[in-house]
Amino acid sequence: MNLRCTCCVSLVLVLHAVVWTQVAVAESKISFRQLTRTHPIAVQRGTAATVEVSSHFTLNGSHSAFFSPPGPQMEFAESTDAPDVWKDPAELDLGTAFHFRVSVPESQLPGVHEFRIATVQSVSSVGHLLITDYPIAVEDGSDNDQPAGAQAVALPVAVCGMIDRFEDVDCFRIRGEAGQDLVCQIYAQRVTCAIHCMAVRYPKIHLMDAMLTLLGPDGKLVSLNDNHFGGDSLLHCRLPTSGDYVLQVRDTRYAGDPRYVYCVELSQDPVALGTIPMGVQQGKSAAIEPVLSFPATAAAATGNVAASGTAAASGTAAASGTAAASETIPGGGAFFPEHAPGVTPGWQVVRAFSAGRPLNPVWLRVSPYPESVGIVDDRGSGEAVPMAVPGGITGRLMAPNQVHRYLFEGKHDCWYRFEVQSQQRGFAVDSVLAVYDGTGKSLTVSDDGYYTKDATLNFQAPADGQYTLSVRDLNGRSGEHFVYHLTAEQSGPDFEIHGEYYYGMLAPGGQAIWFVSLRRLNGFDGPVKMEVEGLPQGVSFTPVTIPSGMSACSLIFTAAPDAPVNAALVRVTGRATLPRPGGLPLEAVREAHVTCELRRAGASAFSRAPIRTQLLAVTQPLDVTNVTAEPAELTLRRGQKAEIRVRIERNPAYTDQVLLDLAFSFHSRKYGEQLPPGVTMSPASTTKLTGSELEATVILEASPDALCVDRLPIAVLARVPITYSIMTNYASNPVLLTVSAE
């Protein structure tokens, strides 16, 4: 059965309701679908192709697919259901392969796209698909380990293959002419970084660490590159002679696994890495200089190893252009905004041109504040540049151990926020930020940010005066592609939203639960209202506000009894009123940070990777068809106890244990909480229902100093173990908890 799929982005959501009419065989121990491999990993824009998606647990009954960024369409392409036999997947299992037909609009921007799949019974983990400008060539399966057996390809091309075993080397033959530029960029880590089970040889070998090596017509080394975009290589060289060249693809450790899929883009066009400046003020125009890859040094042609470098585009393939943050630049310009950056400030996508052809998209920040160019050459570390607050500055570290210093005026007790963007935007700086007072005394230092080497620093000025902010690379590295953007703005009490909301499933009439962790910043202790947009059809959300004194809550979803089978990407945010200098409050909405669950750290520990999507689905009946908690409203006094009566209903196909809790726990660690500080689940509570057991009692205890709350929604968490470390979460109806002093 072929069912049309939909696509979706995390900010603009599309609901796609499907009524599944096929009678399915009852499934037991129902898990989310753990995607392990997509092959080939790339599709050319403006074309349609069939890809193979492998999964632990069946993708039979797939009805919807969701992409971020949006645009591609994907439909289930199997005419018959694959056999569905449950087993506990081992670390190296690929699972079962299923075919999907992918259609990509001609207007689609190239780049890595995250996707999720919904079936009638479950939702999937994250998969990746690369959209490329170039025609696709798939590794043909011949013996191409040696140059003599290299597979011939013609430029430009996107070669999709896999390093499927240890010591595997893939060779591809390319015809080249003397003086011709050859650019080879591999996508390996970037298209597998969020794969759920990627533990090739625990504990040290997980993702592919690609290496590209180019051999000349005489078989001698011309150029090679190891790491450029993280562990992904970029090789750009100028061919010394005419003839047949061989590109070798391998893992630097000679590791291999069927999940080591990759795509190498080969062309004569440089890779655009970004722009100088990296920011443009909204409503203003600025001269934009693209930063492009450039040919490795001539030393490589004599047999020496030469890594790919980068250089500004002045005098090379693309001339500097002018980008305006309030209008679209005509297509003939060097740059043009792709997403109308004049509408909303933030990081936007632009494209450069080389010889009339568009290059890969890069990031450009559209800012409501002034943007300038700071230090972009090899000036000494003693010079300091005045910095506007609020404002943005683009810099480039061009000398080893170079330190850039910026001066700003600070006001007593005012908060300031400084943020570097470099590696997140395609450049190479591993930034470290530091603030010094007028005497040169170091006041605070910050290194890595949230899942990034880009630093963020919050600073409260101890007195009125002039301060110095320094920017440097952690290891003192420098070069043409060590470009960064620094944002400076007044700040104050603030917050971030984190938690456990990667995926969720609920059957008609049932509930699902996610957990929010609130990170309070700079002394903020106000209430935060949680909001969820883009719910599936027939699903409602219980309103909840995290009160002062709390840093966690649950998000409880309920499906109507007549809710159809359907799924949607949803958007979780937090809303709060933040105090600011002068008594002017700021109404702030903060996007939730989303991470996916990985097993690469071993079965006994959780590991995470940042992703863009949160998927919630209404499914056919699950292992636990209902969880009821009574009373629906509960008052708990400080120093006392109260009981919640719990009853579960089971799918007849499921007779194993159901674990009860009020927190998202794994062994002794709590990954998600919902109870107020001072309120705990008593050890006397029933925590496991086995066999024919359906009823339990959960006991809440309040300490004498427990936080008082009024009608805070909580739910009893019921968990079905799927494997040692993976469980499917179910929830009871909301219980409105009041904790009182008397």
- What is the full DSSP assignment across 493-556? SEEEEEEE-SEEEE-TT-EEEEEEEEEEETT----EEEEEESPPTTEEE--EEEPTT--EEEEE
**CATH 2.60.120.380 domain range(s) in the chain:** 136-267, 371-491
Structure tokens at 303: 């047999």
> What's the CA gap between 630 and 158, in Å, rounded?
59
> What's the CA gap between 149 and 613, in Å, rounded?
42
> What's the CA gap between 576 and 645, in Å, rounded?
34
pLDDT score, position 580:
87
Q: What is the CA radius of gyration of the chain?
A: 28
pLDDT score, position 603:
52
Identity at 276, one-letter amino acid code: I
Going by pLDDT thresholds of 50, 70 and 90, the confidence category of residue 285 is confident
pLDDT score, position 536:
98
pLDDT score, position 321:
52
> What's the CA gap between 295 and 173, in Å, rounded?
20
Average pLDDT over residues 299-319: 33
- The yes-or-no verdict on residue 300 having pLDDT over 50 is no
- The yes-or-no verdict on residue 326 having pLDDT over 70 is no
Question: What stretches of 184-254 show up as alpha helix (H) in DSSP?
Answer: none
Share of the chain above pLDDT 70, in %: 88
- The yes-or-no verdict on residue 329 having pLDDT over 70 is no
In 10 A of CB 101, how many CB atoms? Answer: 15
pLDDT score, position 381:
60
Longest dimension (CA), the chain: 88
Share of the chain above pLDDT 90, in %: 75
Output phi, psi for 106, to 5 deg: -60, -30
Give the CATH superfamily of 28-132.
Immunoglobulins (2.60.40.10)
> What's the CA gap between 639 and 678, in Å, rounded?
10
Question: What stretches of 521-663 show up as alpha helix (H) in DSSP?
Answer: none
Vertex 354: Cα angle to 348 and 357 (nearest 5): 80
> What's the CA gap between 133 and 149, in Å, rounded?
27
Exposed e or buried b for every residue in 334-372, given b needs 16+ CB within 10 A? bbbbbbebbeeeebbebbbbbeeebbbbbbbbbbebebb
Q: What is the dihedral of CA 569, 574, 575, 580, to 10 degrees?
A: -130
DSSP 46-72: T-EEEEEEEEES--TTEEEEEEESS--
Q: Are strands 633-637 and 735-740 parallel, antiparallel or unpaired?
A: parallel
CATH of 136-267, one of 1.10.645.10, 2.20.25.90, 3.20.20.80, 2.60.120.380: 2.60.120.380
CATH code for 371-491? 2.60.120.380
pLDDT score, position 206:
84
Exposed e or buried b for every residue in 479-510, given b needs 16+ CB within 10 A? bbbbbbbbbbbebbbbbebbbbbbbbbbbbeb
Q: Are strands 127-132 and 111-119 parallel, antiparallel or unpaired?
A: antiparallel
pLDDT score, position 200:
73
Output phi, psi for 641, to 5 deg: -125, 160
Going by pLDDT thresholds of 50, 70 and 90, the confidence category of residue 673 is very high
Q: Give all strands of the β-sheet with 335-337 in edge-to-edge order.
A: 279-281, 357-367, 346-354, 335-337
Average pLDDT over residues 74-94: 83
- The yes-or-no verdict on residue 284 having pLDDT over 90 is no
Whether 150 and 144 have beta carbons less than 8 Å apart is answered as yes
Output phi, psi for 105, to 5 deg: -60, 150
Q: Give all strands of the β-sheet with 571-578 in edge-to-edge order.
A: 544-546, 528-533, 571-578, 586-591
Average pLDDT over residues 361-368: 93
pLDDT tens per residue across span 415-462: 999 999 999 999 999 999 999 999 999 999 999 999 999 999 999 999
Say whether 301 sits in a helix, a strand or coil.
Answer: helix
In 10 A of CB 466, how many CB atoms? Answer: 12
Exposed e or buried b for every residue in 188-208, given b needs 16+ CB within 10 A? bbbbbbbbbbbbbeeeebbbb
Of these ranges, 172-176, 355-359, 663-667, the one predicted with the greatest mean pLDDT is 172-176
pLDDT tens per residue across span 30-47: 999 999 999 999 999 999
Vertex 325: Cα angle to 319 and 326 (nearest 5): 125
Output phi, psi for 629, to 5 deg: -125, 135
Whether 663 and 674 have beta carbons less than 8 Å apart is answered as yes
Output phi, psi for 418, to 5 deg: -120, 135
Q: Which of 142-156, 327-341, 439-453, 709-723 has the lowest mean pLDDT?
A: 327-341
pLDDT score, position 709:
97
**CATH 2.60.40.10 domain range(s) in the chain:** 28-132
pLDDT tens per residue across span 623-654: 999 999 999 999 999 999 999 999 999 999 89
Contacts 24+ apart (CB under 8 A), 650-655: 650/623, 650/624, 650/625, 650/694, 651/26, 651/28, 651/621, 651/622, 651/623, 651/624, 651/625, 652/26, 653/26, 653/27, 653/28, 653/623, 654/28, 654/29, 654/623, 654/624, 654/720, 655/691
Mean pLDDT of the residues in the chain: 88
Whether 572 and 530 have beta carbons less than 8 Å apart is answered as yes
711 φ/ψ sector (left φ>0, alpha ψ -120 to 50, else beta): left
Structure tokens at 692: 């024919």
Going by pLDDT thresholds of 50, 70 and 90, the confidence category of residue 316 is very low
pTM of the model: 0.90
Q: Let me know how many helices (H) and strands (E) the chain has, helices first.
A: 0, 63
